[in-house]
Amino acid sequence: MAAGLSLVPGGGIARGPDGSGDPGRAGHRSARVSLGEPWRLPGAGGGSPTLSEIFAASSRDGGWAGFLLGQIHARRPLLWVQDRMAILESGRVHPPGLLAAGLGVAELIHVEARDSKAALWAMEEGLRCAAIGAVIGEIWGDPIALDFTATRRLAVAAERHGVAAYLVRLSSTANLSGARLRWRVASAPSLPHPLNPRAPGQATWQAELFRARGSQPGTWQLAHEADGLHLVAEPVDRTLDETGFKRVGRK
């Protein structure tokens, strides 16, 4: 997964009683969110590439794309597969938008599949090609073809050939799956704007890891910088304390 992730201890624009911090006042200096120590998402280091499953908060929420692209590097081409319903309901890939994630248009191979069965076949064939850097597949709903066996085949192909696979589930349920990492991703409030506290700032996303092999589940709020993803909020511990409530923060 992402090679370089950093902690963000916090930051923003504070306004003093004399109006300092207001971009409309003279002498205002921009404030930026500082970056902390490097940090990796679970499964990011040591292990071989595998299958990650990402559930979008809604079919109209594209926050999952920023979260996903922040983990991909442009050393090799990216294979992006969409089934017909994913394109109709959520839109076709816009190649120039990849530039914001540091990926060039020339590194994109886009496949439009007629249905989920064809999309899964294209993903598996792409995973068997060592020249591919990563494979993304968008599938709409809960088609019959997308069962445990299909996801297991993708996971095995990704691990055997060393190509990361990301299965994006749109308007679907978290049924039985062979994916090693399973995420729920939603757009979150933006960071403070460095020049104007009233304006929207950098986009952030809330990512919940609800199932992982060899990693502890948790929830993070993330933002993307040129060097990768950065943590905005402290991770949430999904275990319960002695009172039966979830603990905020992780020991």
- Other Cβ atoms less than 10 A from the Cβ of 126: the count is 26
Residue 41 lies in a domain: no
Residue 74 lies in a domain: yes
Residue 6 lies in a domain: no
Residue 94 lies in a domain: yes
Q: What's residue 127's pLDDT?
A: 96
- pTM, 2 dp: 0.76
Q: What's residue 137's pLDDT?
A: 97
Which whole number is the average pLDDT over 84-102? Answer: 84
- Strand (E) positions, 42-173? 51-56, 78-83, 108-113, 134-140, 164-170
Residue percentage of the chain with pLDDT more than 90: 37
Statement: residue 239 has pLDDT above 70: no
Q: What's residue 101's pLDDT?
A: 64
- Two tokens, residue 88: 């109709």
Q: How far is CA 216 from CA 53, 115, 231, in A?
A: 16, 34, 17
Statement: residue 4 has pLDDT above 60: no
Statement: residue 187 has pLDDT above 70: yes
Residue 18: phi, psi to the nearest 5?
-90, 10
Nearest to 155 by CA among 172, 170, 176: 176
Which whole number is the average pLDDT over 18-25? Answer: 44
Which whole number is the average pLDDT over 103-128? Answer: 90
- Tally of domains within the chain: 1
Residue 117 lies in a domain: yes
Which whole number is the average pLDDT over 47-57? Answer: 88
Statement: residue 179 has pLDDT above 70: yes
- Strand (E) positions, 68-227? 78-83, 108-113, 134-140, 164-170, 181-188, 204-212, 218-225
Q: Residue 129's domain is classified under what CATH number?
A: 3.40.50.300
Amino acid, res. 233: A
Amino acid, res. 168: V
pLDDT confidence of 87, banded at 50, 70, 90? very high
Q: What's residue 100's pLDDT?
A: 67
More confident residue, 124 or 244: 124
Q: Mean pLDDT score of the chain, rounded to an integer?
A: 76
Q: What's residue 183's pLDDT?
A: 93
More confident residue, 61 or 36: 61
Residue 65 lies in a domain: yes
Residue 124 lies in a domain: yes
Which whole number is the average pLDDT over 245-250? Answer: 43
> What domain range is 75 assigned to?
58-190+203-234
- Other Cβ atoms less than 10 A from the Cβ of 242: the count is 5
Residue 26 lies in a domain: no
Highest mean predicted confidence (pLDDT) among 142-151, 180-189, 192-201: 142-151
